[in-house]
Amino acid sequence: MQYVTLNNGISMPQLGFGVWKIDNEKTASIVDKAFKVGYRSIDTASAYGNEQGVGEAIAQSGLPREELFITTKVWNGDQGYNQTLAAFNKSMEALKLDYIDLYLIHWPTPKYDNYVDTYKALETLYHEGRVKSIGVSNFNQEHLERIFAECDIKPVVNQVECHPYFQQAELKSFCNQHDIYIESYSPLDRGNVVLKDTVITELANKHNKTPAQIILRWHLQENCIVIPKSETPSRIEENFSVFDFELSASDMKQITGINRNERRGSEPSENNAR
């Protein structure tokens, strides 16, 4: 496993396991498989409805708590200072943990303009030691700049959609300037269209790796944290086997060249779902 050091000095696995859209009843067994493969970072959210399953997997794993890095998120409808504190307590109860390693605001939902107060609640949780690190998800530069101006603690990560067809170069540059890690979700592109791209398949043949492994390696060498999700045991193993090869500068340049700026999910400034 490869680790990064966040801007508050905390170490985080650079490769984690996402559980978006995994049914809660299946989550414990799937996360257990991920633990056995070697994953130690799990990314969930209250909106996923499977925090309980993640908590069961943690309890059953027998792994020391300090070896694990658990992320969850406050949902849009729970934003606001007091509401966020209440939502956090519900997440802790579902996960059955004494602390969370990383707590994120799921979306800025700017229409309701609660994300600054929500972030201040995260700061309170951080000062109380109930959260080891705090950050955001789906934040554009303008949202981050408000956090910088109105809050005290810099986010450690900004978890956003990122894949070779949507590379987020400008946001990556901005976050890098402010010592904030980009954490890539949907890293293989929803629908797996990019897995069939000629550049990706040719690099897979060159390195004797799968297209998914090439893309995950690209994320790592872009200095991003990456959280692939799979319910298939063989793919959970495959996605973890990305530390035994490197892409050359030429390889990386080829992947840069296939960017289409195609976002699959919602634009953060327009997503105001509750």
pTM of the model: 0.97
What is the rounded distance in angstroms from the CA atom of residue 21 to the CA atom of residue 50?
Answer: 9
Q: Is 226 helix (H, G, I), strand (E, B) or coil?
A: strand
pLDDT score for 88:
98
| 187, 216 Cβ separation under 8 angstroms | yes
What is the rounded distance in angstroms from the CA atom of residue 81 to the CA atom of residue 265?
Answer: 27
Judge whether residue 22 has pLDDT over 80: yes
* Domains, the chain, ordered by start: 3-189+223-229 (3.20.20.100)
| Angle formed by the axes of helices 198-207 and 211-221, nearest 10° | 90
Each residue's pLDDT tens digit, 50-87: 999 999 999 999 999 999 999 999 999 999 999 999 99
What is the rounded distance in angstroms from the CA atom of residue 66 to the CA atom of residue 59?
Answer: 13
DSSP character string of 40-107: -EEE--GGGT-HHHHHHHHHHH---GGG-EEEEEE-GGG-SHHHHHHHHHHHHHHHT-S-EEEEEES-
> Could you give the percent of the chain with pLDDT greater than 70?
100
Task: Over range 98-102, report the average pLDDT.
Answer: 98
Structure tokens of 99? 């602390």
pLDDT score for 210:
97
Task: Over range 90-99, report the average pLDDT.
Answer: 98
What is the rounded distance in angstroms from the CA atom of residue 149 to the CA atom of residue 177?
Answer: 16
Each residue's pLDDT tens digit, 136-172: 999 999 999 999 999 999 999 999 999 999 999 999 9
Q: Is 136 helix (H, G, I), strand (E, B) or coil?
A: strand
Task: Over range 108-133, report the average pLDDT.
Answer: 98
Judge whether residue 191 has pLDDT over 90: no
Confidence of residue 190 (pLDDT cuts 50, 70, 90): confident
pLDDT score for 1:
86
pLDDT score for 18:
98
112 is catalytic: no
Active-site hit among 3, 39, 48, 165:
48
Q: Is 18 helix (H, G, I), strand (E, B) or coil?
A: strand
Judge whether residue 192 has pLDDT over 80: no
pLDDT score for 41:
98
pLDDT score for 267:
97
Give residue for tokens 């997997």: 57
What is the rounded distance in angstroms from the CA atom of residue 69 to the CA atom of residue 62?
Answer: 14
What is the rounded distance in angstroms from the CA atom of residue 31 to the CA atom of residue 124?
Answer: 30
Task: Over range 10-32, report the average pLDDT.
Answer: 97
Q: Residue 188: which region, alpha, beta or left (left: phi > 0; alpha: psi -120 to 50)? A: alpha
User: Mean pLDDT score of the chain, rounded to an integer?
Assistant: 97
